[in-house]
Amino acid sequence: MKTITLGRTNLQVPVIAVGCMRLNSLDKKGAERFVKTALDLGANFFDHADVYGGGSCESLFADASASYPRDKMFLQSKCGIRPGVAFDFSKEHILASVDGILKRLKTEYLDTLLLHRPDALVEPEEVAAAFDALHNSGKVRNFGVSNQNPFQIQLLQKFVNQPILVNQLQLSVTNANMISVGLHVNMLDDAAVNRDSSVLDFCRLNDITIQAWSPFQFGFFEGVFLGDEKFSKLNAKIREIAEKYGMSDTTIALAWILRHPARIQPVTGTMNEKRLVDCAKAAEVALSRDEWYAIYLSAGNILP
């Protein structure tokens, strides 16, 4: 598995992260096979969150990975969502959440902790105090955020002593506004609407690794575009390029994200072992400029 540098560190991590949001759809045997497949592929970066399965995904992962050395895995989790109640970046909630995560994962530390979606009532001084406590105690080694714009990150970084290394954002060829807005500068069409304060460029300028969640989804969890008749042109183009490389459609769809020079780290969501293998193969494909743009345009995106 090829690697990338995580943020402003010397850490080399797999170019593809394995998302564990749906791990509780498997039984223990299935989860064990899934984890083994990932590790055999060199995909040892596992992405969790305390809300995934109400914590059951983390617990199941701990049991499924129990036979593997902790230092052979890179474990990331997220906190800050109280489902149906609030987003909560208070010091008390962050500290309690991490303790729960560590207990469920049966580990003494997280490699990375992300704040999961912005909290409108965030007090960055409290976040800083929580991060200091977690870092000084050894419970969390690195920090990041999810779904935050440049100004939200800058506000946190003004107070937080540790560097923000990661920003997890939705990105697929059908949800590519962060890319499209850079192509439609000074235009009057819909694609020119800047919905994220140029977060892609900001992260590149500040050496923040973008982790692309839902890399195969369209809309907001509306479905997977692969095989969907609503995206017939996109699927035909992906199939054409996949046949050229002797790869699956899944591989080419993920290779489209990896081709971007921002060195984006996609987070897979599949629990299917064969599809995970196809995802890992994306690291072996380097699409040409013409192929990348052809896929982009076939998804309904336009050039000015």
Given a contact cutoff of 8 angstroms between Cβ atoms, the answer to whether 166 and 112 are in contact is yes
- For residue 151, which amino acid is it? F
52 is catalytic: yes
Fill in the DSSP letter of residue 172.
B
Burial 143-164 (b: 16+ CB within 10 A, else e): bbbbbbbbebbeebbeebebbb
Q: Report the DSSP beta bridge partners of residue 165.
A: none
Closest CA to 176 of 209, 199, 148, 205: 199
DSSP alpha helix (H) spans, the chain: 28-40, 56-64, 91-105, 124-137, 150-159, 177-183, 199-205, 232-245, 249-258, 273-281, 289-298
Question: Exactly one of 52, 109, 245, 293 is catalytic; which is it?
Answer: 52
> Hey, which residues are catalytic here?
52
